[in-house]
Amino acid sequence: MNIRATSIAIVFLIGSNAWAAPPDPMVDPMRGPTPLTESATPPLMPPVENRDVRRMRTYSMQPPTIPHKIDGYQIDKNFNRCLACHARVNTEQTQAVPLSVTHYMDRDSNVLAEVSPRRYFCLQCHVPQTEAKPLVPNNFQDIDVILKRLSAPAPDKK
C-alpha cells in the first residue's frame, strides 16, 4: 500500500514536470503580445494591390500572383469569373494573360479542349497580394542570387 502510494506520487511528479523551468511565453506574430485570455485588437485590413502590373515570379515554377482585386468573383461549378477574361477565347478582347497549356492537361498529360477540372479552381494556386507587412521573417533567396554568389571568384581563398 505504502509502496503503491509512493510510486503514484513519483509518477505524478515526473508527469507534472514540476522542476522544469517555466516555458517561454508563447509568441504568436498574429496575436502579438496579447495574453491568450484576452482578445487582441485586429489590425486594419490592408488594401489589395490593384495595379495590374505583372509581378516577377520568385522561382520559375511559381504560380503567378494575381495583380488585381478579385472581390466578389464567382468561382463555382456553374461559373468561373476568372475565365471570363483569362479563357483562351476571351483573351483577344480583354488582353488578359491566357491560361498556360498545363491548365488544359489531365494528370496523364493529355491536352483537353477545356480547362482540366483539377485546374479549375484558380485560387488554389493563384492569389491576390495585399500591401501587408510579412508576419514572419523570410530569408528566401532567389536562385539567381545564389548562383551569382557561387560563381563569383573567391579572392581570399587563393
Partner 1 sequence: MVKLIKRYWNIIRRPSVHFSLGFLTVGGFIGGILFWGAFNTAMELTNTEKFCTGCHEMRDNVYAELKGTIHFTNRSGVRALCSDCHVPHNWTDKIARKMQASKEVWGKIFGTIDTREKFVDKRLELAQHEWARFKANDSLECRNCHNYEYMDFTRQSVRAQNMHSTYLADRSKTCIDCHKGIAHTLPHIPPGQTSEATPPARASKEVANAAR
Write out the residues near partner 1 by the rule CB under 8 A: 50-53, 68-69, 71-72, 74, 76-79, 81, 83-84, 87, 89-90, 93-96
We find the least distance from the C-beta atom of residue 53 to partner 1, in angstroms, to be 8
Q: In this complex, which beta carbon is closest to partner 1, that of residue 96 or of residue 105?
A: 96
The residues, any chain, with a CB within 8 Å of residue 107's CB and separated by 6 or more, are: 118
| Residue placing its CB nearer to partner 1 in the complex, 26 or 89 | 89
Q: In terms of CB distance, is 77 or 133 closer to partner 1?
A: 77
Q: How far is the CB of 40 from partner 1 (least distance, A)?
A: 24
Least separation in angstroms between residue 142's CB and partner 1 is: 27
Q: How many residues does the chain have?
A: 158
Report whether 135 contacts 30 (CB < 8 A): yes
Shorter beta-carbon distance to partner 1: residue 92 or 144: 92
CA atoms within 13 A on the CB side of 54: 7
Nearest in space to 68 (alpha carbons), one of 85, 51, 81: 51
Q: How many CA atoms lie within 13 A of 137 on its CB side?
A: 1
Give the nearest distance from C-beta 118 to partner 1 in angstroms.
19
Alpha-carbon distance of 37 to 68, in angstroms, equals: 38
Q: Which is nearer to partner 1, 114 or 142 (CB)?
A: 114
- Smallest gap from Cβ 49 to partner 1, in A, equals 10
Q: Which residues does 51 contact at the CB level (< 8 Å), separation at least 6? A: 67, 68
